[in-house]
Amino acid sequence: MIAVRKLPARCAPIVMPFVLSILMTAVVSVISTLRSLGATPAFLATWPGAWALSWLVAFPTLLMVLPLVRRIVARVVASPPQAGR
């Protein structure tokens, strides 16, 4: 088996929104493009551009709003119990 080098843990704050933005924009743009054009040859020609544009907006947006989202989540979700208590 080939060993794959992992990125250091300090990269997680960038890698997580990067992967999340790729997956979410792919799903949303597929649904939106299919709804607009249907399952036609035009869909295959149009979707990659629609996805790329949505990703270019989503990734920087996630980088900017994640700190706010984390604060909101911390206010509405209980902290896990401490070990040994």
Side-chain-side CA neighbours of 47 within 13 Å: the count stands at: 19
For residue 7, being part of any structural domain is answered with: no
Top-confidence residue, 85 or 23: 23
For residue 76, being part of any structural domain is answered with: no
List the Cα angle 77/83/85 in 5-degree steps. Answer: 95
Q: Which pLDDT belongs to residue 2?
A: 85
For residue 60, being part of any structural domain is answered with: yes
- The torsion region of residue 84 among left (phi > 0), alpha (psi -120 to 50) and beta comes to left
For residue 82, being part of any structural domain is answered with: no
Q: Which pLDDT belongs to residue 59?
A: 95
Q: Which pLDDT belongs to residue 84?
A: 67
pLDDT tens sequence across 9-67: 999 989 999 999 999 999 999 999 999 999 999 999 999 999 999 999 999 999 999 99
85 pLDDT tier (thresholds 50, 70, 90): low
pTM: predicted TM-score of the whole model, two decimal places: 0.78
Q: Tell me the C-alpha distance between 47 and 40, whole Å.
A: 11
Domain that holds residue 32: 15-71
